[in-house]
A and B are shown apart, each in its own frame.
Chain A
Amino acid sequence: MTDDVSRNERIKEASDYLRGTLAEGLREEITGAIVEDDQQLVKFHGMYLQDDRDLRPERTRKKMEKAFAFMIRVRIPGGVLNAAQWLALDQVARDFGNGTMRLTTRQTVQLHGVIKSNLKATLRQIDAALLNSIAACGDINRNVMCNAVPEQSKAHAAAFDLARAASDHLLPSTPAYREIWLDGEKIAGGEDEVVEPIYGKTYLPRKFKIVVAVPPSNDVDVFAHDLGFIAILDDKGDVAGWNVTVGGGMGMTHGEEDTYPRTADVMGFCATKDALAIAEAVVAVQRDWGDRLNRKHARLKYTIEDRGLDVFRAEVVRRANVELEPARPFTFTSTGDRYGWSGGAGGRSHLTLFVQNGRLLDHANAKQLSALRRIAQNHDGDFRITPNQNLIVANIPADKQTEIHWIAKDAGLLAAWSGLRRNSMACVALPTCGLALAESERYLPDLMTALDERLAAHGLSNDDIVIRMTGCPNGCARPYLAEIGLVGKGPGRYNLYLGAAFDGSRMNKLYAEDLEHDGIVTALDPIFAAYASERQKGERFGDFTIRAGFVAATGNGRDFHANTRALGGVAR
């Protein structure tokens, strides 16, 4: 294990600031893959080498290597795109990708199925739209998320400014991306030149995620990320400053109790002018203190667990040379999106669309990708990808609203979904993700159809219940913060977690292991029944499962693995 981990560190060290042999690898035409070390480095450029796992069984017999292709994750701070950028991504998705756009849980767009020979053309077109995929993956600060609710316009603007500034400030400086993908001039650095003033040669020990939240919406799931800023509003609705959260993270490994998801701690309050200094200091402390020997123990959450929040805070304050005030009160109400129309400034309105699992394509009977293209071709506002894999067409002037409404409705983007479905998320998983142990995106809709039937039987069709599924325990869809969390264990088998808070402040608890489809439905049905008949007024499903004694409440850190399993029944 240690070998494996230090290997990543060695690869970074030897990569000449993320160059490796990527340029050479691109010239190897007869394989769709790149060499192993470069597979690690290419993540820093926003790409993963994947293969179509559906095709694996036939490939060797057909005398072909795996069906390799790259996933490109675009860097879109705050998830905001203008219409031209949307159209550019739509175009490359059809020309070079698999004809779909995948909106992600971290407000970006993923293109899947881009073969190696098309990578440069794809990235050039993305670049022409003033977008890139720099540091969208890898051991580095990734896409910075931001509250997507546009009607809180003043606060949103401030949050978005901070997200953008943090994103820019923490970008890697190496010219490798431009050199390799855009045929930029190789810039020869002098011996003493500091190429990466913030990161150094080996970047961070592990991935690093920043979000900016604007209460009362916790759509960004602020507690699930390494570093978070929560907007604190004054009486006039202006942002007075930010509560700073640190040490959240979702990933863990099945069967290894030393690994666990963790909700972030609130570390204090800072003024807007100090926020970037704090962000840089948090990154720098993690760079120096994070575990570089064991990749499964390398996220900031473990640094904070091991060192303690107070020690960590003191070091951040020392390095940033700014004071952190005590955290200020705030209230979150939910993590979900509100669908449909909402008002904005200057007569413009916003339309939030439900995109099932974030996957946009032209279904036979619902041509969603084409519909959004039509909207974009005639839209001067912007597009905002929400942290729930949905899409907001924002700032639509009054004279365009009817037309856009009907295009969206015809494409099934405004359907009246059940309360469960409109609060659902799934990661990509099979067939492209190399980590998936089970289906997720392709299966969750079917599971929800079965669950919806049970919920309808109990009169719960319109109740908001957060359900999230992932194909592995790494947690891309933040399943440990879902009232119903399902985490892939093996083909067709899932661990079922219950009891998270609706506002994203408390994780769930393992309720049952290795359930197959029928097992999931059978396990949940009596709990639905109990919830329908015994819930208190306004009581959320997650809270109910704890109060009613189905599962124990989860505290932080290692407590995630304590007191697991079904507690057996309804506490009457």
Chain B
Amino acid sequence: MSSGFATIPKTAPFAEEEIDLLNRVVGPANALQRAWLAGFLAGVESVTGVAQPVAPARPAEPITIVYASESGNCEKLAGDLAKAARKNGLKPTLIDMADLDLAALGSAKRLVMIAATWGEGEPPARATRAYNELMGEGAPRLDGVEYGVLALGDTAYAEFCAIGKKIDERLAALGAKRVVDRVDCDLDFAQPAATWIGGALKVLTPPDADRGRVIEVDFGKPAASPNTDIVEAEISEHVNLNSSRSNKETIHLALTFDGAMPAYEPGDSLDLYAENDPVYVDELLKFAGLTGDDKLRAELIKSRDVTTLSLKTVEAYAAQTGHQYVKALIADGEVKEWIAGRQLIDLIATFPIALTADHLRALTRPLAPRAYSIASSRREVGDEAHLLISAVRYDSHGRARKGVASNYVAERLKRGGRVRVKLKPNKHFGLPAADKDIIMIGPGTGVAPFRAFVQERRATAAKGRSWLFFGDRAFTHDFLYQLDWQEALKDGALTRMDVAFSRDTPEKVYVQHKLWDKRRELIEWLDGGAHFYVCGDAKNMAKDVRATLVRAYADVKALSPEAAEQTVAELERDKRCLQDTY
């Protein structure tokens, strides 16, 4: 691309050595780099306020990037893609699927969709509406649209990347042209996703995108993006908040940072880097015939996901070992059913065969951190962050199971110990303006971000009212942070609180029942502009709460079910009805 013509003349208003310097840069620059410089220089002038005629720029080629994100990974990748696209001379439009107007897709020339699959093959909660519209009969034709889909998922779940797959098929069915093949990423998505983005841009960037162009350079102050590096924190408080009579164990963890505290906001999470249970790893090594390999043991404990069992794992095991029964299991089509409720250890224990360290390593993926909502506000607790972590324990297939991260916290972290964490911002679950009312539905550990909300509102003397719905099993033994709430009600940081304890009465009472009981006031608050938050269990609670909200609208405002549904959908679109569920 470089050519001799671009030498800066000696007449340029620079010192000689500066002209040499510039020539060293501009001379070999390619068209894209020159376009960028042109944009930069034009921008410098406009930023400094001096009007300057700029050569009329050819409009940049557009690219539409839609992301359906739950935990923020897809959103981050979409941002990466937009940045790279801009470098390539494209003009990216970044759209959260939550805000997607389907009609806009038809006019997109180039479309990239990055979609996460959540739970048992469901779209991220925020994206549900647009996803359903896309899958529905009213979706527009997309003839002439070139597209590619990047799918994120978790092989631990049966319906791996189901949403990405369905979107990919649907776009094609609507007439769009797949120009980039879909890639399905597991939890260790960083590498494959980056590769896919690079490849996709190569295909989607027209050959002359950078010719004779001025690239718009963003001079906006770089957003003070908080530190999202991994930092080490000291555990200054480690308390099981459930009474000794409870069969639950919910740890309140206070983390102290030596000056390196991430600048978290209410609603944000911390990624916590857990380690595996050594007892489990030892047992696994025993079944694999690898007891005594201390290096492997240390590696597995620290950095490998040794519990997840996926179809991929079983297939890899069959290929590695040639185990006839495992092959038969796959061939019979019963493997998905067999996997349900089982872990890697079950595979190796049930179909034992001598493994090498590399075999075993290859059956695992990197151990991903576990995100927990932060239960405190920096403005109240200073150099601390609090987490609320429920120890997950259950039995399945005759074996006691333990959640990796939660039991690492509950059983092996101690006061005075240290733990590695990383800030995981969640800008989709923040507080509204200080004068807005908030309604918070947070049963169990779902109450964590709301403790942050209430602390923040106290610390900032926010004027808006706040109303918390909390629930758990037993009033006496499972009322998490009871004294905190009592104090907040007294000092006004919390305006009111309703509670539902499911095991105190013969008939189980849940938060949605309380919501229904209070529906008139609830709708009154919402009519007054209140924001509605739900945090906690995604499988049942969040759905039940949403359904109750729809019913409440229908009942209080005498709406048809469809109209009530529409009202709630609008609240969601307006970002006044927000979820953080897991």
Contacts and interface: CB of A to CB of B under 8 A. Distances in A.
Contact of A95 (B477, B498, B499, B506): B506
Which of A32, A59, A117 has the most chain B CB atoms inside 10 A of its CB?
A117
Given A62-B241, A63-B483, 6 more contacts: A62-B240, A64-B241, A95-B506, A115-B476, A115-B504, A117-B504
Interface string B457-492: 000000000000000000111011111111001000
A121 B240 CA distance: 31
Contact of B484 (A59, A63, A118): A63
Given A29-B498, A30-B489, A63 B476 contact: no
A60 B483 contact: yes
Contact size class for A? 20 to 34
Given A29-B497, A63-B481, A65-B486, A95 B243 contact: no
A69 B477 CA distance: 12
A21 interface: no
Interface of A: 29-32, 52, 55, 58-65, 67-69, 95-96, 115, 117-118, 121
Interface in B491-511: 497-499, 501, 504-506
Contacts of B499: 29-30
A61 B239 contact: yes
Given A30-B482, A30-B486, A30-B489, A64 B239 contact: no
A120 to B, nearest CB: 11
Contact of B243 (A29, A31, A55, A118): A55
26 contacts: A29-B497, A29-B498, A29-B499, A30-B479, A30-B485, A30-B497, A31-B486, A32-B476, A52-B476, A59-B243, A60-B483, A62-B240, A62-B241, A62-B242, A62-B243, A63-B239, A63-B480, A63-B484, A65-B482, A65-B486, A68-B476, A95-B505, A95-B506, A115-B504, A117-B504, A121-B505
The 3 closest A-B pairs by CB, nearest first: A64-B482, A63-B483, A67-B476
A27 to B, nearest CB: 11
A125 to B, nearest CB: 11
B513 to A, nearest CB: 13
A457 B481 CA distance: 56
Contact size class for B? 20 to 34
B240 to A, nearest CB: 7
Interface string B221-245: 0000000000000000001111111
B252 interface: yes
B504 to A, nearest CB: 6
Contacts of A55: 243-245
Contacts of B240: 62
Which of B475, B484, B486, B505 has the most chain A CB atoms inside 10 A of its CB?
B475
Instruction: Identify whether the interface residues of B are mostly helix, strand, loop, or mixed.
Output: mixed
Contacts of A52: 476
Nearest to B482: A64
Nearest to A64: B482
A280 to B, nearest CB: 42
Contacts of B479: 30, 64
B252 to A, nearest CB: 7
B517 to A, nearest CB: 11
A290 to B, nearest CB: 38
Contacts of A121: 505
A173 to B, nearest CB: 32
Contact of A32 (B244, B475, B484): B475
A117 B475 CA distance: 9
Nearest to A51: B476
A67 B482 CA distance: 11
A264 to B, nearest CB: 41
A5 B173 CA distance: 84
Contacts of A58: 243-244
Which of A55, A60, A62 has the most chain B CB atoms inside 10 A of its CB?
A62
B505 A63 contact: no
A350 B489 CA distance: 57
Contacts of A60: 483
Contacts of A31: 486
A31 B483 CA distance: 9
Contact of B252 (A30, A63, A67, A95): A63
Contacts of A117: 475, 501, 504
Nearest to B250: A62
B390 to A, nearest CB: 14
B494 to A, nearest CB: 9
Contacts of B475: 32, 115, 117
Contacts of B506: 95
Contacts of B497: 29-30
Nearest to A67: B476
Contacts of A118: 504-505
